[in-house]
């Protein structure tokens, strides 16, 4: 079986002990840092911004996967590249000129991701899939951690996988929201390449062990 990647979501970390939680991820079997940026406009919540990402970057020793839940993300592409993002994901619903946005992200040397809200249909990616390095399927409505997983996500993975194969694309599939040990195995079987997990990791008694248990389900 392929090696699915685990990306703990920093949104669920203890911000009073951020360095400790970053070091925990560094020493764990996690693959990426998932960073949720929310603007209070695209989603009904504000998370954190540039100074916090700068602090994370100082200690993080793994890939930085930035998920922008903001309107007009084009304005900040260069800023996130300068802050050290390796993957920059924008929302399909927030981009009028998605092709141009993806080009701009790649021009700054980052991988380009596109996130889809739970209601957004896969077929909308038909003419752009070959330009996307990663599709992030939201398995909750974006804006908050700790919500329950939306079951229709399995069906969306199936449709997306079919599109990727048909178009001979090399796009990764990331699942974001409500991921636990209860759905991880099935998500991988359907074709997920990256699993984001916030509360399930950080609110567990032993996050290092939780990450390694998730990882074990993936191999
Ligand atoms: C939701 C965020 C997710 C969130 C995941 O808007 O994009 O990345 O942090 O958290 P959990 O795993 O707790 O649902
Ligand atoms: Zn996210």
pLDDT for position 47: 98
pTM value is 0.98
**Sign of the dihedral defined by the CA atoms of residues 85, 15, 147, 186, in that order:** positive
The ligand 1 site (C-beta within 6 Å) comprises 9, 11-12, 34, 36, 67, 140, 142-147, 176-179, 196-200
Instruction: Work out how many domains the chain is built from and give that number.
Output: 1
- Name residue, tokens 């992030």: 136
Per-residue model confidence as pLDDT tens digits over 56-89: 999 999 999 999 999 999 999 999 999 999 999 9
Full residue range of the structural domain in which residue 96 is found: 5-218
Three-state DSSP state, 186: helix
pLDDT band at 1 (very low <50, low <70, confident <90, very high): low
36 is catalytic: yes
- Conformation bin of residue 28: beta by default, left when phi > 0, alpha when psi is -120 to 50: beta
Nearest CA to ligand 1 atom 1: 142
Chain segment 17-62, per-residue pLDDT in tens:
999 999 999 999 999 999 999 999 999 999 999 999 999 999 999 9
Burial (CB count within 10 angstroms: exposed 0-12, middle 13-18, buried 19+), residue 188: buried
Model ipTM value: 0.99
Distance of CA 11 to the CA centre of its chain: 12
Query: How many Å lie between the centroid of ligand 1 and the Cα of residue 130?
Result: 26
CATH number at residue 101: 3.20.20.70
CB-based contact 66:96 (threshold 8 Å): no
């Amino acid at each position: 079986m392929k090696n699915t990647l685990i990306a703990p979501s920093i949104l669920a970390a203890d911000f009073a002990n951020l360095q400790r939680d970053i070091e925990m991820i560094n020493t764990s079997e996690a693959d990426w840092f998932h960073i949720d940026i929310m603007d209070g406009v695209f989603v009904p919540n504000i998370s954190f911004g540039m100074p916090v990402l700068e602090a994370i970057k100082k200690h993080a020793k793994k890939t930085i996967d930035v998920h922008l839940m903001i309107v007009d993300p084009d304005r900040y592409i260069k800023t996130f590249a300068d802050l050290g993002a390796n993957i920059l994901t924008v929302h399909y619903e927030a981009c009028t000129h998605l092709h141009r946005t993806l080009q701009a992200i790649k021009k700054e040397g980052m991988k380009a991701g596109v996130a889809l809200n739970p209601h957004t249909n896969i077929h909308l990616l038909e003419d752009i899939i070959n330009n996307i390095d990663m599709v992030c399927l939201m398995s909750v409505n974006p804006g908050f951690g700790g919500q329950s997983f939306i079951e229709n996500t399995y069906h969306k993975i199936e449709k997306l996988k079919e599109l990727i194969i048909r178009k001979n694309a090399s796009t990764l599939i990331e699942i974001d929201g409500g991921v636990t040990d209860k759905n991880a195995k099935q998500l991988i079987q359907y074709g997920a390449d990256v699993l984001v997990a916030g509360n399930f990791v950080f609110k567990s008694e032993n996050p290092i062990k939780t990450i390694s248990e998730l990882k074990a389900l993936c191999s």
